[in-house]
Amino acid sequence: MKNIKYCLSIAFLLPAFFSNAQTFNWGNAGNDPRHIININVNAEYAVTYGIGYNYKLRSKLPIILNAEYSFPSGKNITDDFKTRIGGQMDWAHVGNFHFISKVHGVFRRYENDYARLLNFGTDLSGVIGYYKSKWFIAGEIGFDKAIITHFRHSDLLKSNYPDIKDGWYEPSTGGNFYYGVQAGLTGKKFDVYAKAGKLTEQDLKTSPMFPIYGQFGVNVKFR
């Protein structure tokens, strides 16, 4: 039981690493080129960096498909990373108010002196905002869920817990709700945006050690 509690306590940290998905000005989506490269810097448990590619579909409802990769600053940038694949859709708008949903599958890796974790999860969120062609401001709420996690424990940990087992741990090993605000300025070839908010664990009672997040990003648009 102690071993399981230890593993779960580590896994609950997973969803808090690295900020949520990229941000776009949906008020200008009809005029933007179809290809968008995103570069961002995040502040959560550590300073992290991200890069992503986005493709705008030719569809009745505005849809942007995403693929992104993020990693921490420091010497061993391959120890921890997060990949995300999915999309965003502008479901409806009333005047300049838009309603957007985001759905992403997540794969992440986290390693410390005690264990290496590989995790599959999901990230779901909704955005309501006021979007003009040159600027926007919006609010977002979402849930980042670590669904299943593989543990490979170090010799150091096994020396203290000889009975601990490597392998997959399920069901779900943690999740965080996040909510915050975002705003940006839109140009012909470049967009800049910033977002900030708070995190709370899935029980809605407990906050992570660092319960806030922030992100600054640049979108580079081309045809």
- Report angle CA 176, 181, 183 to the nearest 5 degrees: 135
Residue whose C-alpha is closest to residue 88's, from 133, 132, 142, 134? 142
Q: Which of 1-15, 24-38, 63-77, 136-150 has the lowest mean pLDDT?
A: 1-15
CATH number of domain containing 81 = 2.40.128
Q: How large is the average pLDDT for residues 154-180?
A: 82
Predicted local distance difference test score (pLDDT) of residue 210: 77
Give the confidence band of 168 by pLDDT, cuts at 50, 70, 90: confident
Residues 94 and 107: beta-carbon distance below 8 Å: no
Number of domains in the chain: 1
Predicted local distance difference test score (pLDDT) of residue 194: 96
Q: Report the alpha-carbon distance of residue 2 to residue 39 in Å, rounded.
A: 41
Tokens (6 digits) for 68? 């992104």
Host domain of residue 70: 2-222
Q: Residue 11 phi/psi, 5° resolution?
A: -65, -30
For residue 11, give the 3-state DSSP assignment.
helix
Which contiguous run of DSSP H or E holds residue 6? helix 2-11
Backbone CA torsion sign across 10, 43, 195, 82 = negative
The fraction of the chain above a pLDDT of 90, given in percent, is 48
Predicted local distance difference test score (pLDDT) of residue 57: 93
Predicted local distance difference test score (pLDDT) of residue 88: 96
Residue whose C-alpha is closest to residue 100's, from 27, 17, 180? 27
Q: Which residue has the higher pLDDT, 45 or 204?
A: 204
Predicted local distance difference test score (pLDDT) of residue 1: 46
pLDDT of 71 > 80? The answer is yes
Tokens (6 digits) for 20? 């949520």
Predicted local distance difference test score (pLDDT) of residue 98: 97
Predicted local distance difference test score (pLDDT) of residue 173: 62
Backbone CA torsion sign across 151, 200, 45, 125 = positive
Residues 8 and 169: beta-carbon distance below 8 Å: yes
For residue 60, give the 3-state DSSP assignment.
coil
**Mean pLDDT, the chain, integer:** 86
Residue 7: DSSP 8-state:
H
In DSSP notation, 104-167 reads EEEEEEEE-SSEEEEEEEEEEEEEEEEE-SSEEEEEEEEEEEEEEEEEEE-HHHHHH-TT---E
